[in-house]
């Protein structure tokens, strides 16, 4: 997401603590407040700890947003290019989480198996 997109998101009326706060208040006003300082907002997206997202956050996003067929960057791009960029970011973080979750489970499974059983 570019600075331009973040500025546009704001103008359209790394931290798990921040995620928890987001889960408590998902209103547009809370979103605008979060994007109020564009530089800080972009830094928080870039520094987002994608490897430690709480599962409840991903589940809530999947249930409340990703399950909506209109929650995709192509559809939202018709409304706002900036919102499409943010939508794509959310979709990709959730996809990454699920891939990371499966990969980590496989690593744990393999680590618990005797070497001869893996071949």
- Set out the domains of the chain in order of their start, with CATH numbers: 3-118 (1.20.920.60)
Polymer length of the chain? 119
Q: How many CB atoms lie within 10 A of CB 67?
A: 9
Q: Is the pLDDT of residue 1 over 70?
A: no
Rounded (to 5) percent helix, strand, coil in the chain = 75, 0, 25
What is the pTM assigned to this prediction? 0.65
pLDDT digits (tens, 9 = 90+) for 36-54: 888 998 898 889 888 888 8
Percent of the chain surpassing pLDDT 70: 66
More confident call, 44 vs 21: 44
Task: Give the pLDDT score at 99.
Answer: 87
Token pair for 100: 């990371």
Residue 16 binned pLDDT confidence (cut-offs 50, 70, 90)? low
* Tens digits of residue pLDDT in 43-88: 988 898 888 888 888 898 899 999 999 999 999 999 888 889 989 9
Band (24; pLDDT cuts 50, 70, 90)? low
Cβ 78 vs Cβ 97: under 8 Å: no
């Amino acid at each position: 997401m570019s600075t331009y997109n973040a500025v546009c998101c704001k103008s359209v009326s790394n931290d798990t603590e921040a995620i928890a706060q987001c889960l408590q208040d998902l209103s547009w006003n809370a979103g605008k407040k979060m994007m109020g300082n564009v530089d800080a907002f972009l830094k928080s997206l870039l520094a987002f700890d994608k490897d430690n997202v709480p599962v409840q956050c991903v589940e809530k996003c999947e249930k409340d947003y990703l399950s909506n067929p209109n929650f995709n960057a192509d559809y939202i791009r018709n409304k706002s290019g900036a919102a499409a960029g943010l939508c794509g970011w959310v979709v990709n973080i959730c996809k990454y989480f699920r891939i990371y979750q499966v990969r980590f489970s496989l690593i744990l499974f393999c680590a618990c198996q005797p070497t001869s059983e893996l071949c």
